[in-house]
Amino acid sequence: MEVRHFKLIATIADAGSLTRAAERLCLTQSALSHQLKEIEGQLQTKLFDRVNKRLVLNGAGNILLRSSRSIIELIEKTRKDINRHLVGETGEIRLSTQCYTCYHWLPEIIKKFQSEYPNVEITIRTNGPKRPIEEVLAGKLDLAIVYTKLENRNLEYTELFTDELVAVVPSSSPLSAKAFLKPTDFVDQAFYTASPNFEEGKFNVDFLKASNVRPKKVVYVQLTEAILQMVRAGLGITVITKWLMKPYLGDQGLTVVRLGRSGLKRRWYVGTLSNDRPAYISAFIRHIKDGVFL
């Protein structure tokens, strides 16, 4: 049976006659009668009895009517749900970032976005993969906020902003008097990091490894505040984004020093699949572009 058959049964039941049902369905009475016989032929039973010139559902007809109404209602709900999904009213955004520092400004972006799209659920993978853009390509994430691009014709990137990585050293250290640090300045230092992906990070790949340098030891500490306490105590040094140090610039125990003569900068992007994406994902990217002030 087809959807039109279910609609036909419901219409005849409501109208009470073939003539009125045919008018509502914009069919001739002959065409409607033919379709009804087709349904009864498939089910091998009559569905209506004639009572005082009216068509009245019999037992089999009432069973089919209940199913018909349920099916019609479900189809209509499905159509509306798909329409809401396409225009961005409902859905899900699965995201991850290449660096933990994004989570300092991301919550405020999400808050503003969800005031516009309250029915879009956002799932954040804070302990995401080393290369989240590959998860986008595999369909496991909807978008990734990254500074390392994977060139692939199935991926689309939207440029967001540029930030700068800086070294944070104890103010009592001789390093604090330097105009900038060189890779060799890290050779005899304990290096504190909040990133579990230190080996894949831009500082290690583009600054240290490029000069075949590695710190004396790398210590993972989850919290930025705890790392800065370690640096303040003279136990080592760290590298974080310059904007993240703004609240600590008046701290007499910490000094910010540039990495290299020209500084070490990262250009950030949002990576998504290049096929048609729901309106709410485009809106979320717009909120990021408009809302991040570093």
pLDDT digit string (tens) for 55-100? Answer: 888 999 999 999 999 999 999 888 877 876 776 678 899 999 988 7
Side-chain-side CA neighbours of residue 261 (13 Å)? 0
pLDDT of residue 280 exceeding 60 = yes
List the structure tokens of 231.
């640096």
Give mean pLDDT, residues 35-48. Answer: 91
Determine the residue type at 94. R
The Cα–Cα gap between 254 and 242 comes to 13
pLDDT of residue 128 exceeding 60 = no
Give mean pLDDT, residues 165-182. Answer: 96
Q: What integer best gives the mean pLDDT of the chain? A: 89
pLDDT digit string (tens) for 207-231? Answer: 999 899 999 999 999 888 999 999 9
pLDDT of residue 52 exceeding 70 = yes
pLDDT digit string (tens) for 222-268? Answer: 888 999 999 999 999 999 999 889 888 888 899 999 999 999 999 99
Of all helices (H) and strands (E), which one includes residue 232? helix 224-232
Domains and CATH numbers, the chain: 3-86 (1.10.10.10), 88-294 (3.40.190.290)
pLDDT of residue 294 exceeding 60 = no
The Cα–Cα gap between 96 and 132 comes to 6
